[in-house]
Amino acid sequence: MKYVLAIVVALLVFPVEAADWKERGDIGALFKSAGINGTFVLYDIADDAYIGYNQSRAETRFVPASTFKIPNTLIGLSVGAVKDVDEVLPYGGQPQFMKEWEEDMGLRKAIALSNVPIYQHLAQRIGLEHMRENIMKMDYGNKEIGSQVDRFWLDGPLKVSAIEQARFLARLAQGILPFPAALQASVREIVQVDQGKDWVLYGKTGWESAPNPGVGWWVGWVHKNNRIYTFALNMDVHSAVDADKRVVLGRKSLALLGVL
């Protein structure tokens, strides 16, 4: 009986994903040739399967950094902190890391510029209680946000793995998160970044501790031929040169897998 109980507890503490993992050496070769330590995972929703590189790192949680702007937008819309993605929010009037951030703007423009102060203001409007409730509701990462509502996705304690990012985005891409469908559609609209003949690409970058060394992210999904493939890349970033490789490596990985 004690043995059975121990197994149950272990499963509760360390959730097991049902999907299979297929390791791709060619994607690993991309990372190695670029001198990057990281992981890439593609989640094929229809087949409920993962394809990627470095499974152990894909299962490891890191601070989400600016990739959290995706759930932050959805939460802000759902609690009425903003009426829509074009309502103008104040940046606060202080000098910023990027000159482009020194402007009042709506979430549509702010997410494209990865504007930190705009999203910090949004989080302040949402408030700690509503933020915590909705992160629990969407089952995002370790669901821990601490006591500082405008820093937890930048410094922790919130952490999420690449696999968890891919699973979360799969629900958003399909519009099956426990939030109004119209609000999920608004979020999808503002993270579209590119399209081709038979595909549409959605994505968001992140960089912990920018411009200092930290973990870099690129997450998103591709809608191709009536199928949805979500993906998440994270990597060690030591400089802006490394940061520029996030999307490059991600797109090359997607191309190798025939998704782009």
16, pLDDT greater than 50: no
1, pLDDT greater than 60: no
Rounded to an integer, what distance in angstroms lies between the CA atom of residue 219 and that of residue 230? 8
Residue 192's domain spans which residues? 22-256
- DSSP letters of 129-155? HHHHHHHHHHT-TT---TT-TTTHHHH
Portion of the chain with pLDDT greater than 70, in percent? 93
170, pLDDT greater than 70: yes
Rounded to an integer, what distance in angstroms lies between the CA atom of residue 27 and that of residue 61? 21
- Give a yes or no: residue 15 inside a domain: no
Mean pLDDT of the 8-20 span:
48
105, pLDDT greater than 90: yes
Local confidence band at 199 (pLDDT 50, 70, 90 cut-offs) = very high
8, pLDDT greater than 60: no
Mean pLDDT of the 7-16 span:
38
What's 168's domain CATH number? Answer: 3.40.710.10
14, pLDDT greater than 50: no
Query: Looking at 15-29, 36-50, 136-150, which range is the least confident one?
Result: 15-29
Q: What is the pLDDT of residue 211?
A: 81
Q: What is the pLDDT of residue 18?
A: 54
Token representation of residue 59: 């299962």
Strand partners, 202: 192, 221
6, pLDDT greater than 50: no
- Give a yes or no: residue 16 inside a domain: no
> CA 100, 101, 105: angle at the middle one, nearest 5?
105
**Kind plus residue range of the DSSP H or E element containing 250:** helix 245-256
Q: pLDDT tens-digit profile of 237-248?
A: 999 999 999 999
Rounded to an integer, what distance in angstroms lies between the CA atom of residue 178 and that of residue 182? 12
Q: pLDDT tens-digit profile of 247-259?
A: 999 999 999 999 9
- Give a yes or no: residue 17 inside a domain: no
- Give a yes or no: residue 51 inside a domain: yes
Top-confidence residue, 1 or 226: 226
Q: For all residues of the chain together, what is the average pLDDT?
A: 94
Local confidence band at 209 (pLDDT 50, 70, 90 cut-offs) = confident
Our answer to whether residue 66 is catalytic in this structure is: yes
- Report how many domains make up the chain: 1
Which residues lie below 8 Å from residue 252, measured CB to CB, with a gap of 6+? 30
- Give a yes or no: residue 9 inside a domain: no
- Give a yes or no: residue 196 inside a domain: yes
Integer angstrom CA distances of residue 183 from 110, 119, 149, 174? 17, 17, 22, 12
- Give a yes or no: residue 106 inside a domain: yes
Rounded to an integer, what distance in angstroms lies between the CA atom of residue 100 and that of residue 123? 20
- Give a yes or no: residue 154 inside a domain: yes
Query: Looking at 11-20, 45-54, 81-90, 102-111, which range is the least confident one?
Result: 11-20
- Which among 33, 56, 66, 161 is annotated as catalytic? 66
Token representation of residue 80: 């009425």
Q: pLDDT tens-digit profile of 53-73?
A: 999 999 999 999 999 999 999
